[in-house]
Every structure is written in structure tokens, then in C-alpha cells.
Chains A and B, each alone.
Chain A
């Protein structure tokens, strides 16, 4: 009696196929929630419009400012946005339901990565559009710069997503999570050269900032958007340090992965 039923369950869909299916559903849900569109995707562009109008007096400054804002933006969608969405999944029963299905845990994360990449890209495009239209932002012309943009973007999103998910384990509710995730994000923006140039910061604050991913993501983007290589002297180290950027972001990704593996909870009440 059992064999007839069991044979039908043999061919379960692959982890990747399920991950992509989850990504599609995640995106559908994300873009149907207006607060996501307004807050997560548009806020950095609005901030850039406001702050840029006050501070940016010349094109060269617009380039540096836009680079920092794009860096801050992808961290808002990955670190804050993803962290919040995992807490929400725990709160509304999504994770509990998924755990009762034959979906592998990895597929859930593939889905989240799809969500973060697409929403971060949307947000970066919006920022660049505001930059080009309002502040005459010049886009990098060489393929090499775009390649740098691509890997800094990818590594930055991956590292910050993993750390965001790891930190989401601390938060018991979405209300709670907003604080847990937003506080480090806002503080880091000041320490990482988004609102204030790092060279203008006291040594101690600069050192603190250089431990975290945001500084390195912003520095990478500044190397992409700088009008000429000479602007590297304005960085804390006097150069773009691309190798170090890859190293620091890679290390954060690995640390994040380990943390997620150790701290991830399916629900608020289990065990």
C-alpha cells in the first residue's frame, strides 16, 4: 500500500529550481508592498536629492557623493531590507510553513539573494538616474570600471545580506528588528564616508569605520565614479586599495555565512 504512494514522491525539484521559484515569489511580494517601494528602494534617492542639493557645488563632488550614496543604498536593501524580511518571515509563519515542505534550506537563501540583487539593482539605477538628471553625474566609460562596479556590488550585497540575516536572529519581532538593524546602518554611514569624507573624521572613528563593509563598498564605488585617478589621494590610505576591498568583503561574507549557520532560527518559539 505504501509503495504506490512513495514512488510518486521520488522526483523532488532541484534546490536551484526551487530557489529561483522562491526568488520570483519573493520579488512579487516585495514589489506589491508599497512601503518597500517607498522606503527601501526610493529613500536613498530622496536623500541624495536633498543632501546633494545642499552640499554638491561641482561635478567632481557629485561623483564622489553619488558613489557613497549607492554604497549606502545597497546596504539598506541588503543588510536592513533582507534582515527585516527574514524577521517578517519568522513572524508571519512563512518560515514555519516552508519548514513543513520538502524545500531545502538553501533554496530559501537563493530566493533571498535573488530578491536582494534585484531590489538593490533597482535602487542603484534610481540613484544613478537622480544623479545624472539633477547633478550631471558622469557614468564611468571604461569596461574595467564597470567590472569593478559589478564585483564590488556583488561582494557588498552578499556580505551585507549574510550579516543582516545573522543579526535578524537577535530580533524577536519586526518592530524590534528595525532598531537592531537601523542603528548600525545609520552609524556606519557617518563612519564610512557616505555623509562626511573619511579624511575629515578623527583617526579613532576612521579606524572603527574601516572594520565594517560599508566603508569598503563606498571606496570601491568612488574608484569607479572618480573623474580621474588622482582623486585616490583623498582616500584615507591615499589609494583605492581594490585588493583590500575584495579581501575585507570576502572575509565578512565568510563570517556572515558561519554566523547564519550557527544562529538561524526557523521560528520564534522552536526548541
Chain B
């Protein structure tokens, strides 16, 4: 059984069709990224899967349960990482994590979770005094404290500095290695490429492409650009046989600044959402 199965999901707000027929399958243990520009319907879709929002139509099954009818047992298997909460400001990090651990039947050890998200030094600090990145790591701690089978990460690294993002990626990788299914929405392509087993591109409420980060939009089979320096200028060849091109060229000697590139995920993505 898949962790998530969606067929024909629709949702409209006051005449605006936010989600217009989405199909989605996420296998257990998979890290799945949903990419898309602002307003593509990412957050709406995720909130429907979380059971936080009603849907207009379609079939949805999350861990075998319709989110519109999910009970406590079902909730205890989900981990929802909030996007912009400012709650619990007067509690300390340790108090907040211990308190939320109390909601679950079999929580992780709060001290281990604090350590896992890298907040051990901040354990005694009030939540309201944390930096943006630290605050988000606390959100992750509270999202995973219940030992969830499925974690929702909705644009988790927005506003992070590069170092904080790398740390965060490490955290997600560790969760995935433990077998947790992760549904991630993001508009950072490198994030999807670094973390996801599979990605889907959502635009205008529909999924316009789906695949692994390496093959999305026919990327793996796209022509490659071979580029090198010759006579004080760069020269480029677009080819579907880069190995052959280089073999031919290299007969004349060493090639300066040789590179072979295929379209980046970003190139493919920008083409898809046009």
C-alpha cells in the first residue's frame, strides 16, 4: 500500500480553481518533492492531505485513511512541520519538545530529538528568542517527536541561510534513512535534487511532470553541450553523443576547460511551468 494515493483531487476558492485534478502516488519510505511556483496549489494540496482542509472532489488516501475522516490514531502517525508558526514563545525549547511528546503514545526521546535538530545548546532558551533557522528546526522537532510514519514539510527552508539549509538537508536525509516517508514542497530546485527520490511539478493546480530529479522532463535524454577553450575563445557543440564528440576532438591534443552539461533541473522546470 502506498503512503499517499490521490486521484482527481479538486479544490476551488470563490471561483478560483486552486487544485484542478491532481493524481499522486507516494510509496512508503520515499522522499517525494512537489515543486511549483507560488499559487500553483502546493499548500492547498498538502493541507488537504494533512486533513486541515476540505476538498471539493477526488479520492484521497493517506496511510490508508481518508484525511477528512482521520481520527487520533491516524494523526499520531503523521508529522506536520508548520511553515510560519510563532507559538510557544515563552516556553523553553526543552519545555516545548517535552510537552508535545506527551501527546503521543510512543514518542521519541525529547532530548534525542533536540540533539537531532541541533538545538542542544538552545534547550534552555525561550522559543521566542530563537533565530529564524533555529525556530524552523524546533518546528521539525515538534513535527517528528511522535515517531511519525509520514512527515509533511511545506517549504521548510524558506528564508534559511546556505549553512542552515545544508544542516536541514542533513536532518531530512537522516529521517529518510530511518524509513520515514517524506512529502516535501519547495520552490528550490537544488533542494528537490538533493533530497527527493521523485519529484512532481505542479503548475496551475495540475501536475505537469513527474519523475526522478535526474529524468524529469526528459532531462536524461536531452542533448548535452560540450564546451572547451580554443584559440582564446570558447567553443560549444550541442550533441546527443558527447562522448564521441570529445573522442574526436581530443585526437588533436589536450582540450582546455572542457565541460559537458545537460539542462539543469532548473532549466527543465522553467520550461515546464511556462
- B156 to chain A: closest CB distance in Å? 15
* A203 CB contacts on chain B under 8 angstroms: none
Report the separation of the CA atoms of residues A184 and B104 in the bound assembly, to the nearest whole angstrom. Answer: 40
Q: Per a CB cutoff under 8 Å, which of B89, B103, B142 touches A102?
A: B103
Assess the A21–B77 pair: CB atoms within 8 A. Answer: no
Assess the A18–B76 pair: CB atoms within 8 A. Answer: no
* B102 CB contacts on chain A under 8 angstroms: 13, 18, 21
A9-B86 contact, Cβ under 8 Å, with A25-B91, A25-B99, A28-B95: no
* A270 CB contacts on chain B under 8 angstroms: 47, 52-53
Report the separation of the CA atoms of residues A17 and B105 in the bound assembly, to the nearest whole angstrom. Answer: 12
B23 at the A interface (CB under 8 A): no
Task: List which B208-257 residues lie within 8 A (CB) of chain A.
Answer: none
Report the separation of the CA atoms of residues A270 and B90 in the bound assembly, to the nearest whole angstrom. Answer: 26
Assess the B80–A100 pair: CB atoms within 8 A. Answer: yes
Assess the B77–A6 pair: CB atoms within 8 A. Answer: yes
Assess the A97–B76 pair: CB atoms within 8 A. Answer: no
- B56 to chain A: closest CB distance in Å? 11
Q: Which of A60-68, A71-79, A87-95, A227-235 contacts B (4 or more CB under 8 A)?
A: A87-95
Assess the A102–B88 pair: CB atoms within 8 A. Answer: no
Contact with B along A228-271 (1 / 0, CB 8 A): 00000000000000000000000000000000000000110011
Q: Tell which of B47, B53, B90, B91 has the most Cβ of chain A within 10 Å.
A: B90
A1 at the B interface (CB under 8 A): yes
Q: Per a CB cutoff under 8 Å, which of B1, B50, B105 touches A100?
A: B50
Assess the A8–B78 pair: CB atoms within 8 A. Answer: no
- B19 to chain A: closest CB distance in Å? 14
Q: Tell which of A10, A29, A93, A101 has the most Cβ of chain B within 10 Å.
A: A101
Contact with B along A24-65 (1 / 0, CB 8 A): 010011001100000000000000000000000000000000
A28-B78 contact, Cβ under 8 Å, with A21-B102, A266-B52, A270-B52: no
B110 at the A interface (CB under 8 A): no
B75 at the A interface (CB under 8 A): yes
- A186 to chain B: closest CB distance in Å? 28
Report the separation of the CA atoms of residues A21 and B91 in the bound assembly, to the nearest whole angstrom. Answer: 14
When C-beta atoms are compared, the residue in chain B nearest to A18 turns out to be B103
Q: Tell which of A11, A33, A92 has the most Cβ of chain B within 10 Å.
A: A92
A96 at the B interface (CB under 8 A): yes
Assess the A5–B149 pair: CB atoms within 8 A. Answer: yes
Q: Tell which of B53, B54, B106 has the most Cβ of chain A within 10 Å.
A: B106
* A104 CB contacts on chain B under 8 angstroms: 72
- A50 to chain B: closest CB distance in Å? 30
Assess the A102–B85 pair: CB atoms within 8 A. Answer: no
- B177 to chain A: closest CB distance in Å? 16
B176 at the A interface (CB under 8 A): no
Question: What's the dominant secondary structure at chain B's contact region?
Answer: loop
- B176 to chain A: closest CB distance in Å? 15
Q: Tell which of B75, B80, B84, B103 has the most Cβ of chain A within 10 Å.
A: B103
Q: Tell which of B54, B102, B143, B147 has the most Cβ of chain A within 10 Å.
A: B102
Report the separation of the CA atoms of residues A93 and B143 in the bound assembly, to the nearest whole angstrom. Answer: 13
A271-B54 contact, Cβ under 8 Å, with A8-B105, A92-B86, A96-B85: yes
A12 at the B interface (CB under 8 A): yes
Task: List which B43-80 residues lie within 8 A (CB) of chain A.
Answer: 47, 50, 52-54, 72-73, 75-78, 80
When C-beta atoms are compared, the residue in chain B nearest to A267 turns out to be B52
Q: Per a CB cutoff under 8 Å, which of A9, A32, A89, A94 touches B104?
A: A9
Q: Tell which of B50, B52, B54 has the most Cβ of chain A within 10 Å.
A: B52
Report the separation of the CA atoms of residues A97 and B75 in the bound assembly, to the nearest whole angstrom. Answer: 12
When C-beta atoms are compared, the residue in chain A nearest to B29 turns out to be A1
A99 at the B interface (CB under 8 A): yes
When C-beta atoms are compared, the residue in chain A nearest to B71 turns out to be A102
Assess the A29–B91 pair: CB atoms within 8 A. Answer: yes
* B147 CB contacts on chain A under 8 angstroms: 5, 8-9
Q: Which residues of B contact A (CB under 8 A)?
A: 1, 28, 47, 50, 52-54, 72-73, 75-78, 80, 82, 84-91, 95, 99-100, 102-106, 142-143, 146-147, 149
In the assembled complex, 12 residue pairs joining A and B whose CB atoms fall closer than 8 Å, in A order, are: A8-B147, A13-B102, A13-B104, A28-B91, A92-B89, A100-B75, A101-B76, A102-B103, A102-B146, A266-B52, A267-B52, A270-B53
Q: Which 5 A-B pairs have the closest CB atoms?
A: A93-B85, A8-B106, A100-B80, A32-B90, A94-B87
